[in-house]
Amino acid sequence: MPDPTGFVHHIPIRYGEVDMQGVVFNAHYLAYVDDAMDRWLRTLDVHFERFGWDVMLVKAVVEWKGAATIGDDLDIALRVTRWGTTSFDVGFTGSVGERPVFTATITYVGVKAGTRETAPPPPEVRALLGDAPGPP
The full set of domain ranges for the chain reads 4-129
- 39 pLDDT above the threshold of 50: yes
pLDDT of residue 122: 94
Reduced to 3 states (helix: H, G, I; strand: E, B; else coil), residue 36 is helix
Pick 4-129's CATH classification: 3.90.1300.10, 3.40.640.10, 3.10.129.10, 3.40.50.300. 3.10.129.10
CA-based nearest residue to 95, from 5, 37, 3, 24: 24
Q: How far is CA 3 from its chain centroid?
A: 15
pLDDT of residue 43: 92
User: Binning pLDDT at 50, 70 and 90, where does residue 6 land?
Assistant: confident
Does the reported pTM lie above 0.85?
Answer: yes
pLDDT of residue 131: 77
Q: Which region holds residue 90: left if phi is over 0, alpha if psi is between -120 and 50, else beta?
A: beta
